Amino acid sequence: MLQVQMLREDKDRILTGLEKRNLPDAAAKIDEVVALDDRRKELQTQNDNLLAERNQLSREIGDLFKSGQKEAAGSLRDRVNVIKDESAAIETALTEVLTELDEQLLQLPNVPHALVPAGSSAEDNEVYQDHPGELPTPGTGAKPHWELAEEYGIFSLELGVRTTGSGFPVFTGQGARLQRALVNFFLDRNTAAGYTEYAPPLLVNEDTARATGQLPDKEGQMYYVPEDDLYLIPTAEVPLTNLYRGELLEADQLPVRLTGYTPCFRREAGSYGSHVRGLNRVHQFDKVEIVQITTPEESYTKLDEMVAHVGGLLDELNLPYRILRLCGGDMGFTSAMTFDFEVWSAAQERWLEVSSVSNFETFQSNRLKLRYRTERGTQLAHTLNGSALALPRIIAALLENNQAEDGILLPEVLHSYIGKARLERIK
């Protein structure tokens, strides 16, 4: 959530940034927020003055009673009762203004960093780091991962339909083992890089989802349990970042590094077509997440560090990838800058997104009330997160890019995790 003070003091920069998101009527929205905050200040001043007058009158009433001037004291008491009524009315108006101010702020997206390119869709994203050299091409008879899954017993979409519905794959046999191997590999690399591992809950309350920006922006994409008023998490970022909600950290505690493996749940409403076949887009999938909490001065250095870390994981898996810097129109509501990683799918002959690494600056921490102490007082921390990594499209690319006559060859780094060098066809 944007800070009102920032909207007041840095309006031109904010408008320039929001233009990259193609936000309609941005200036009017900011003016409305500032006007609401002016009204808040006015009401707060009126109420403070009334309360100060009441306190003064209360002292005078006490003195009058002590000196036997009951009639004069009664007159002042009548004024105190009027003040109480006036103050109650102002407090009601103040609550209404604060609620409206909060709702208006919740509708404003984060301001893109100056380096974020303008644009309206994925076609306008910037290739930040391209894959060097020639991309691998599929050999004769190369198959997409959904066909390989049947030959090798990797996963079944039909079993998922039987138990739940479409978009819920069931991993079986060596496919389940491959998924477990990847989770352990990612977690081991993350913890070796200084991230502390957590196993967070898979359901969160409304305050938690609102604090990291999933609500109200992505309400339609989240699974909701009305009986308990809880949401299934779309990513481990949500519970992990909220572990520090309301915290006041010391500067020497930063950066905080967290990682966690969870299933993730997304409705993906409106996703149809050949580009979402197989594991390309599903409603439940496994993902390992990394989160950092740091200072404003260090956050973009940490963003670079996280991008390099995710790239290192893909290098170890021998997966060709490229990195995109997302344009304002394709960037998430809460992000100030996002880098997407895409791996090359040889059989599908297209790029598949497998990770997003983002800096939210103070957007999440303002909602979280997550601060740290400095010599100049307390200030909001910066939060960052990234996928390290999401499994479905990683598995799709591993299957498609490494298919051979004698099986699917596994990258060497996974041999010790899965206990073999290749996946074999089932008989």
Strand arrangement of the beta sheet that strand 126-129 belongs to: 126-129, 321-325, 337-345, 350-361, 382-390, 284-294, 256-265, 196-198
Q: What is the pLDDT of residue 270?
A: 54
Q: Which domains does the chain have, with CATH numbers?
A: 4-106 (1.10.287.40), 122-423 (3.30.930.10)
Interatomic CA distance for residues 48 and 356, integer angstroms: 47
pLDDT, average across residues 254-260: 98
Number of other CB atoms surrounding residue 104 within 10 Å: 17
Residue ranges for the known binding site for L-serine are 235, 266, 289, 385
pLDDT tens-digit profile of 318-347? 999 999 999 999 999 999 999 999 999 999
pLDDT, average across residues 176-183: 98
Interatomic CA distance for residues 156 and 144, integer angstroms: 14
Q: What is the pLDDT of residue 219?
A: 87
The pLDDT of residue 273 is above 70: no
The pLDDT of residue 281 is above 80: yes
What pTM does this model have? 0.93
pLDDT, average across residues 30-45: 97
Q: What is the pLDDT of residue 269?
A: 64
Q: Which percentage of the chain shows pLDDT scores above 90?
A: 88
Say if residue 186 is exposed, middle or buried (CB neighbours under 10 Å; 0-12, 13-18, 19+).
Answer: buried
Q: What is the pLDDT of residue 348?
A: 93
Give the pLDDT band of residue 275 (cuts 50, 70, 90). Answer: low
The pLDDT of residue 99 is above 60: yes
Give the pLDDT band of residue 26 (cuts 50, 70, 90). Answer: very high
* Helix or strand run (H / E) with residue 379: strand 377-380
Question: Coil, strand, or helix at residue 345?
Answer: strand
Residue ranges for the known binding site for ATP are 266-268, 282-285, 353-356
Number of other CB atoms surrounding residue 89 within 10 Å: 12
pLDDT tens-digit profile of 132-163? 888 887 777 889 999 999 999 999 999 999 99
Number of other CB atoms surrounding residue 227 within 10 Å: 5
The pLDDT of residue 249 is above 70: yes
In order, the DSSP letters of 331-386 are S-TT-SEEEEEEEEETTTTEEEEEEEEEEEETHHHHHHT-EEEETTEEEE-EEEEE
* Helix or strand run (H / E) with residue 107: none
Residue ranges for the known binding site are 235, 266-268, 282-285, 289, 353-356, 385
Interatomic CA distance for residues 84 and 137, integer angstroms: 78
Give the pLDDT band of residue 105 (cuts 50, 70, 90). Answer: very high
